Amino acid sequence: MKLLLIEDEHRLADALSYLLKKSGYDTDIASDGETGIEMALTGIYDIIILDRMLPKLDGISILQEFRHEGFATPVLFLTAKDTLKDRVQGLDAGADDYLVKPFSSEELLARLRALSRRKNKELVSAKITIPEMMFDPLRGEVTKENEIIQLSVKESLLLELLMSNLGQVITKERIFEKIWGYYSGTEIANVDLYIHYLRKKLNTTSIRTVRGVGYFFEDKQYVS
Binding site for Ca ion (CB under 5 A): 8, 51, 53
Q: Based on CB atoms, which residue is closest to Ca ion, 64 or 204?
A: 64
Rounded least distance, CB 75 to Ca ion, Å = 15
Distance CA 130, CA 21 (A): 29
Rounded least distance, CB 116 to Ca ion, Å = 24
Distance CA 42, CA 27 (A): 15
Nearest-5° Cα angle at 47, 63 to 13: 85
Q: Based on CB atoms, which residue is closest to Ca ion, 80 or 123?
A: 80
Q: Based on CB atoms, which residue is closest to Ca ion, 39 or 175?
A: 39
- For 193, residues 6+ apart whose C-beta sits below 8 A from its C-beta are none
- Could you tell me if 157 and 26 are in contact, meaning their C-beta atoms sit under 8 angstroms apart? yes
Write b or e for each residue in 82-109: b if 16 or more Cβ atoms lie within 10 A of its Cβ, otherwise e.
eeeebbebbeebbbbebbeeeeeeeebe
Q: Based on CB atoms, which residue is closest to Ca ion, 15 or 126?
A: 15
Q: Based on CB atoms, which residue is closest to Ca ion, 48 or 128?
A: 48
Rounded least distance, CB 80 to Ca ion, Å = 7
Cis omega (within 30 of 0) on the bond before 102? yes
Rounded least distance, CB 205 to Ca ion, Å = 50
The 3-state DSSP class for residue 141 equals strand
> H or E element: which one contains 35?
helix 33-40
Rounded least distance, CB 9 to Ca ion, Å = 5
